[in-house]
Amino acid sequence: MAPELSPLQPESRSSVSSESKRTDFITWEEYFMSVALLASQRSKDPVTQVGAAIVRDQVVVGMGYNGMPRGCLDDDMPWGKTSENPLENKYLYVCHAEMNAILNKNAESIRGATIYCTLFPCCSCAKYIIQAGISEVVYLNDKPNNNEMIASKMMFEKTNVKFRQFVATKRKVIINFDNFSVDISSPSSARSSSSSDAEIL
Ligand SMILES: [Zn+2]
């Protein structure tokens, strides 16, 4: 027999009275990283989709994903990375998510802001982040042995830009346009788990 659930138990949406506050809402951290992940889904890159969201005073003031510069049509540009001719690879052309988020910001200043990134920023984006005055980087994935990211960390440490990995919650946020629903699933053991295999979106 299933155990009875108290009215405010977070894992039981059906047990919460419609007269009281919802308890299964996503956290700020989950919200902002979900925004970054959602932005990444605009990317046309066949291998790496990266998203970024800049947050200031709990408000998203910039979003971006990795893509070609404005006016360089996606269909005309190379998306591969294996050609012997560098001009036929994507690297010389793609604008990274963090750079796009910074350049597309809709606030006058993003000094002191936090940037949520689905991948640790490369050294070029790190320089944009530092020069824009962003004070904190929250990242989902990392490539700890990548020289560009090692350089980013070195520069962040010298300039007092804090960086930390997104704390995994093992929750899922599923957006389903078929029936216009948002499903937030919270495994009963998730809240106390320290596992890092989080899956959001
Ligand atoms: Zn970058």
Residue 188 lies in a domain: no
H helices, E strands: number in the chain: 4, 7
Least confident of 153-157, 163-167, 191-195: 191-195
Residue 157 lies in a domain: yes
From ligand 1's centre to the CA of 17, what distance in Å?
46
Instruction: Please report the pLDDT score of residue 19 as a whole number.
Output: 87
The catalytically annotated residue of 19, 98, 148, 199 is 98
> Residue 157 sits in which domain range?
28-165
Confidence of residue 178 (pLDDT cuts 50, 70, 90): confident
Q: Of the candidates 112, 82, 117, 84, which has an alpha carbon nearest to the alpha carbon of residue 99?
A: 117
Residue 172 lies in a domain: no
Contacts (Cβ under 8 Å, ≥6 apart) of 160? 135
Mean pLDDT, the chain, as a whole number? 87
User: Edge-to-edge, what's the strand order for the sheet holding 51-56?
Assistant: 59-65, 51-56, 114-119, 136-141, 162-165
Residue 116 lies in a domain: yes
Evaluate whether 105 touches 61 at the Cβ level (below 8 Å). yes
Please determine, for residue 196, whether its predicted confidence score (pLDDT) is greater than 60.
no
**What are the pLDDT digits (tens) for 65-75?**
999 999 999 99
Residue 22 lies in a domain: no
CATH number, domain containing residue 125: 3.40.140.10
From ligand 1's centre to the CA of 122, what distance in Å?
4
Average pLDDT over residues 41-54: 96
Least confident of 13-17, 71-75, 159-163: 13-17
Helix (H) or strand (E) holding 158, with range, is helix 147-158
Please determine, for residue 156, whether its predicted confidence score (pLDDT) is greater than 90.
yes
d(CA 153, CA 163): 8
Please determine, for residue 195, whether its predicted confidence score (pLDDT) is greater than 90.
no
From ligand 1's centre to the CA of 3, what distance in Å?
50
d(CA 98, CA 116): 9
From ligand 1's centre to the CA of 26, what distance in Å?
28
Q: How many domains does the chain have?
A: 1
Instruction: Please report the pLDDT score of residue 170 as a whole number.
Output: 76
Average pLDDT over residues 26-46: 95
The whole-model pTM stands at: 0.83
Tell me whether residue 98 is one of the annotated catalytic residues.
Answer: yes
Residue 69 lies in a domain: yes
Residue 15 lies in a domain: no
Average pLDDT over residues 28-56: 96
Who wins on pLDDT, 100 or 185? 100
d(CA 126, CA 130): 6
Average pLDDT over residues 174-196: 66
d(CA 68, CA 178): 30
Residue 201 lies in a domain: no
Contacts (Cβ under 8 Å, ≥6 apart) of 63? 35, 36, 39, 51, 52, 53, 54, 101, 104
Backbone angles phi, psi at 101, to 5 degrees: -60, -40
